[in-house]
Structure 1
């Protein structure tokens, strides 16, 4: 699950909750709750009408009390509690007085008398408002009201009083009382429905397996229920799994492709884990308004609707979005749901594993997606954040609620996934799988920790202690390992002299003195024979003998198959020989070689002209990720190193000459039957030429196509398929940028008439890319137009304004002026406002301004403190890069 979450505004809640606040919070458990009271069963009954602002509920929690107490600590936020009692085994009732003890939603229940050790039932009746994209919240995409849920990580406490942390894992009995004409679904299959007076019905669901509160889910409203194919028996599972789609009214038929292709993913995962799908049914919900890409609720997975709506004619990105996201969320049914982390510091056990596993299964079922390359690209992307002094560890301590949001990032997902992939290759694919199967079997229906997983995998290796220590060195400390390698040849076997430290970008204040247990895997050319060797290297300096070599290697690739999460540099002679052997490297090795060049530039070891001189080699590579390596650095140079329009025009002309042959080879029009990767590469290069290079010929063709989509010069109707779906977004953006008010107004008209999430996002992105100040202001005003935008559409309509230096100042002023309104409107994604404001900042003064304006604002926003710290550091690093490179020649003189 990828998730942006709402901030917790204490002052706004005080008046709403109707609770007394604890006067002394010095003993309030702001991290894990005490284990004095441990639930064993939760019975949840909610009365919900999507048309109303509030709902009511009763929670009955059967629990064990370990020692007599007069205080129960649990969670509840924004709940108006009417009655709370502890019911003892003999029927005695003890009144409980609730108070909200901390801004994070810690709930204190003070007992009128001591609750003795033993069995107790907590009964709490309450009323609560629907949330804002967390907890139980309402959406209205088509004029009709729906309720959907998002409990992870802190939404459950807004919906019902509970022990709202991962380690409390118990079954749930869920009952929903809803208007008679509405559909209600939950984690488990419906057990019975009873008609009630006054136009209501009571829907009771089967008892769930043991689940933490963040995996509880339900939906109520005029949903379409689309029957999917049963997931037939497989291995040890002899009973079919019922599969359904849940979509807004009239949208159910659009789930045909996603439902047809879900069973094969489930079966592939069952085969990998050697464990049947753990739950009694599977519903895929296409949520019309949802911050996360998707959420792995047990048996009721919620997706952004666009992820459930592709078909065979959709863009490559849309189809791969379904396969990748569905594989990820379904992997969670085992990793995260069947076995759950104990505390949020182990979130990577859920998300890194699902990232790695989702790519593995997606790639197994759709080889043309080349997901191994995607996993590598994600790892290289994570290295950017991991190079910051302020980066976090994969296994990062979580002290309070503001830390949890920070764990949902590229370090957890992409770095964690890359580390898993690195150790899979080192230990061996079959052995690694055995370790995973043993881990699942040992901890099914319960909780586990990082040490549990690592020990299970390490046990399958030839040196469990070394693998265990090496694995922990990657998750328990931050940063990217940087290895420098020389080759000694002479007496005895050729030997690699390996030095390691932390990779640091130019201007970094971090300490480079850091080491890991690196599973070093090398390939080398020995008299024309390609050999491979692996081993764990430790310490600042070490020696790695090439035991099979018969001669001094002609070249050495220090990251065989690109499997290692580390960067490298070779002694100059061998760096040059590796460049000469570029064509002999496999696809992933070519990409990590390109990263060794761009990261050397980032560390200040290469001049701009030296980096640019390497780009033709990459541009001619067979794999798109290598072709496009360096485009980010080119864009940065274009913005920050050129003094005037004449310099910029000359720079763009020379850069275009590097990449134009590849674009011309692909053409601007997709070809029947061409590879998906060619379509994706075309889209990237077209965006680069139209955006960064502002190429007039490419823009003219795109503007023409975009105007056809908008119906300009024709019938005025939307012609969504007048251009390839892969290029429609950029064509619309160019058409609006260059077409002024006529194009903007046409996009606005079509947006207001459409319920298609993909087209809506593309039209919004186009309007947000307008250059005319009046049109840009009009785009921003859409954010506050009542009922117009879904909340996950706010960033698309303003995000384009971060791309253009001319539109950034007005955007910053708008963010600053409307911060409070935006934070409430964007909940749960308030921390992201820092990124909107900071786009294009590249000076120490900019960083100081950012900290001054947002320091107090971010303190109580989930993830806010770290978001601000890292953004300010990135601005200062940009300033250091700019200062060091200003005045340097960008192209070597011929």
Structure 2
């Protein structure tokens, strides 16, 4: 294989002229910098793959693979060049043929991951077969065709796994690696005889050749390259089937298959549910789900062969927590929704990623709500909405539909905007259109674009045709522009005046203007109003006896009922006081109680209201006992606690005590020990509150956690420390560890080394760096670099870093940056390092220091994460200035504490 320049005169796609196909007789080195996004045939379909016949031979001992490809290619215009994607592959130039034609050159442009095959004559019009042989490495980067390590009978072994989304199929075989180039795939694998070999389709036959076997698979339906999947290793499985007879299996490491039973049950029921919801049967003859020990993401929806982190698929009744059980259900439902929304109907280009992820996230909650109604799942959906709102309030956010100008930029948009905001605006649209009309329209969309590709506009067109509503005009304001509005609400007699402005956490207002579905009620949920706010201002006439200044406890007005809209509301003082009374009187829904506290917190961060008023509002939640509400109240409390350390050191202790008091009553009611017959949500609430009280420094909780930990050490089988309270106990231990008294740290390391359960390992890793002792934090960070910690698990350590350890973590990152960048090249993983170390700071000086360090070091894979982290630092700095200038904060904290006494 040669390296060099594109042949002059080759037709390529040039992004700076909006993807028009043009002839540019200039060297590739001048063009590659801007042409590495989409292949030159992408807009013309002049050359397109129709069918891949792939044969792969992974060598697990040598961590390498070899392969051959025969690709049926349709040629519709005269050309002498084939341009496709390849990366980190060695293509045998002498093996390349197109029909009987021998190429004059085979050139790989590594930086742009493009393979150019040139011929001395035009290729024949019609369908021809491109053949080639190639080799590659089973890398350790959890992308492309890679290796994952596991233990079997005390011996370390490798398995071979694929992870191709977004643009890494090219690391396994040369291909047209873009979602719009759908083709059929027929795979053949040569693997050791004793191993399980899985792919998207069922195996048709096996041939044994000594220690090896050749496995042949059915040809797939049309699908995108990023959905092709292969897994080779030692596994056990559990099996079930849908009502239609589709075989479903969950594969896990030998000895762990029973932990797949819960996910299997969820999967079987989800497939049946989605078949009815989308009015389309599951398209493939089987579905396999596999737990992978090393996996960068949470899971991947490969057609018919879904891969997962172990923590996202496996559940053990004795060893896993209630929150883990819930996460398994949500993740399985999410990935299986993709079999329709993403795999059967695929986005046309990564600009429309949200069509995959936003819909899968939304539908997963619909499925789990149907399967486990006692979990109150739609109320928990507000966790997703909150995450989307917080990220989208940054100036360094991005629209749901974001232009992608290079393949290296794709991974960076797998974030809370594509997932959580995407899902939330879908919920908003469903609420506006009505559930039945929305479902019918989605089913029509799936049928119309099955085995094809679609853009966001295609979905809006179907929804408009089915409902007669102005869906495109409404939703374009939410998908094509960044951010969201805050609605300012002011009562004047019986008229409620509304004004919208783009909400930004830095306190400024952006230029955005949205068509906003407004819902409202007054004093009761019985009578609700709905309308579209299309301009900057409008007003609503409030009907009913409780409007216009009546001073009863029923005098309250709530906008954005049940938080179905993706926006915040800033009430005037009179309206805010009414809602505070309604919370105390338990007049509001769980969702509305969540929305009010989340809006108030974010408005305080943005300096649109005071911390003083936020603390008074929080006091209204002191008798709350519901998990879904307290999970948000707790998050707000921890956010206030962190900022108060830097903002008001003299008040920090009193604020901390105020927050502890707010949570303590519910925590004491639940206690440490599980109770017979208690609900799933109560089990989760116990864990939530104990962890929060430990983080807030509540001595009684810390001491009890430490006591239970020492008993647990003597007998690991004791029920005194069940999985749901274990994390609180581990954190309590780490709050007491010092360099000179490190027994607790060493004991946790021992637990980590002795357990084979991924959930338990994650609990320990998330605790090690939470110590106030800076030397111990440094030791935990260095431990993360050892072979004892899988690269996928680094974010647990990073997420646990104590406030006292933030400076140590920053210095550590600077010293180890080159190693981190090399070890964690994936954007999601490298972004975790940046966000976890940078976002904890609260001064302009630190922001300047971070900017200076990264000057000249930024790459597309983490550039957005860095900008967002720096923005958060500056937002915190301004919030602190605002808090310090509040004249009545100290007095209010004192009054609230005295009131509790």
Q: State whether TM-score is above 0.5.
A: yes
Aligned residue runs from structure 1 range 201-600, under 5 A: 201-224=213-236, 226-233=237-244, 240-313=245-318, 314-462=320-468, 464-465=469-470, 467-487=471-491, 489=493, 495-508=495-508, 511-525=509-523, 530-545=526-541, 554-582=555-583, 583-600=586-603
Question: Is the 8 Å Cα contact of residues 25 and 102 (structure 1) preserved in structure 2?
Answer: no
Give the Cα separation in 1 of the matches to 2:235 and 2:825. Answer: 25
Structure 1 residue 439 displacement after superposition: 0.1
CA RMSD of aligned residues (A): 2.4
Correspondence for 1:886: 884
Residue 659 (1) aligns with residue 655 (2)? no
Q: Does the aligned pair in 1 maintain the 2:250–2:289 contact within 8 Å?
A: yes
- Compared CA separation, residues 421 and 120, structure 1 to 2 (3 A): same
The match for 1:130 among 114, 132, 138 is 138
**Partner-residue secondary structure (3-state), 2:341:** coil
| Ranges in structure 2 where 5+ consecutive residues have no aligned partner | 7-26, 550-554, 896-901
1:724 equivalent in alignment to 2:730: no
* Contact 2:182–2:223 (Cα < 8 Å) also in 1: yes
Say if 1:590 and 1:231 are closer, same or farther in 2 by CA, change over 3 A: same
Greater CA drift, 377-386 or 296-305: 377-386
Counterpart secondary structure, 1:306: helix
1:481 and 1:516 in contact (8 A); partners too? yes
Name the CA distance, whole Å, in 1 between partners of 2:89 and 2:884.
57
Say whether the 8 Å CA contact 2:798–2:832 is kept in structure 1: no
1:140 to 145, 149, 154: 149
Matched, 1:66 2:65: no
- Equivalents in 1 of 2:106, 2:743: separation in Å? 58
Aligned to 2:821: 823
Match of 2:22 in 1: none
Equivalent position of 1:193 in the other structure: 206
The aligned counterpart of 2:20 is: none
Structure 1 residues 93 and 837 mapped into 2: Cα distance closer, same or farther (>3 Å)?
same
Closer/same/farther in 2, CA of residues 79 and 387 from structure 1, 3 Å limit: same
In the aligned structure 1, how far is the partner of 2:629 from the partner of 2:265? Answer: 34
**1:660-699 correspondence to structure 2 within 5 Å:** 660-691=664-695, 693-699=696-702
Contact 1:258 1:308 in 2 (8 A): yes
Residues 580 and 620 in structure 2, CA contact (< 8 A), matched pair in contact too: no
Tell me which moved more, 389-398 or 96-105.
Answer: 96-105
Are positions 1:93 and 2:101 aligned together? Answer: yes
Deviation at 1:517, TM superposition (A): 0.7
- 2:652 matches 1:648: yes
For 1:549 and 1:187, locate their aligned partners in 2 and report how far apart those are by CA, in whole Å.
Answer: 62
Question: Any conservation in 2 of the 1:288–1:305 contact (CA below 8 Å)?
Answer: yes
Change (3 A) 1:227 1:481: same
CA distance in 2, matches of 1:189, 1:676: 37
Question: CA offsets per residue over residues 207-256 of structure 1, 9 Å max, x none?
Answer: 011110110001112222x14122232xxxxxx11112222222223222
Asked whether the equivalents of residues 651 and 890 of structure 2 are also in contact (C-alpha less than 8 Å), the reply is: no
C-alpha displacement of 1:865: 1.6
Q: CA deviation at 1:696?
A: 0.8
Partner of 1:117: 125
Distance 1:254 1:574, change over 3 A: closer
1:486-545 superposed Cα distances (whole Å, 9 cap, x missing partner): 3455xxxx554321111122444xx433211111122224xx783112121111112345
Q: Distance in 1 between matches of 2:458 and 2:496?
A: 34
Contact in 2 for aligned 1:243/1:282 (Cα 8 Å): yes
Q: Aligned partners of 1:122, 1:396: CA distance in 2, in Å?
A: 34
- Contact 1:100/1:107, CA 8 A, preserved across alignment: yes
Q: 1:555 to 1:741 in 2, by over 3 A?
A: closer
Shift of 1:484: 1.6
Answer yes or no: is the 8 Å Cα contact 1:223–1:249 preserved in 2.
Answer: yes
Partner SS state of residue 620, structure 2:
helix
Instruction: Answer whether contact 1:834 1:854 (CA < 8 A) is retained.
Output: no
Q: Distance in 2 between matches of 1:87 and 1:887?
A: 74
Query: After alignment, is 541-550 or 588-597 more displaced?
Result: 541-550
Moved more, 430-439 or 880-889: 880-889
Q: CA deviation at 1:148?
A: 1.2
- Give 1:830-849 correspondences, 5 Å limit: 830-849=830-849
Residues 255, 308 of structure 1: 8 Å contact kept: yes
1:571 shift after superposition:
3.4
Question: Corresponding residue for 1:866?
Answer: 864
Unaligned runs of 5+ in 1: 1-16, 234-239
| Residues 438 and 546 of structure 1, relative CA distance in 2, 3 Å threshold | farther
| Count of residues paired in the alignment | 847
Residues 1:304 and 1:657: Cα distance change in structure 2 (over 3 Å): same
Select between 212-221 and 864-873 the one with higher mean Cα deviation: 864-873
The corresponding residue for 2:11 is: none
**Which deviates more from structure 2 when the two are superposed, residues 588-597 or residues 208-217?**
588-597
Structure 1, 427-436 or 45-54: larger mean CA deviation: 45-54
Secondary structure of the equivalent of 1:840? Answer: coil
Structure 1 residue 447: Cα displacement: 0.5
Summarize deviations over 1:2-49 as a string: whole Å, max 9, x none.
xxxxxxxxxxxxxxx975565523444322222331111111110112
Residue 13 of structure 1 is matched in structure 2 by: none
Structure 1 residues 104, 612: closer, same or farther in 2, change over 3 A?
A: farther
Per-residue deviation at 1:271? Answer: 1.2
- Give 1:813 shift: 2.0
**Aligned counterparts of 2:422 and 2:734: Cα–Cα separation in 1:** 40
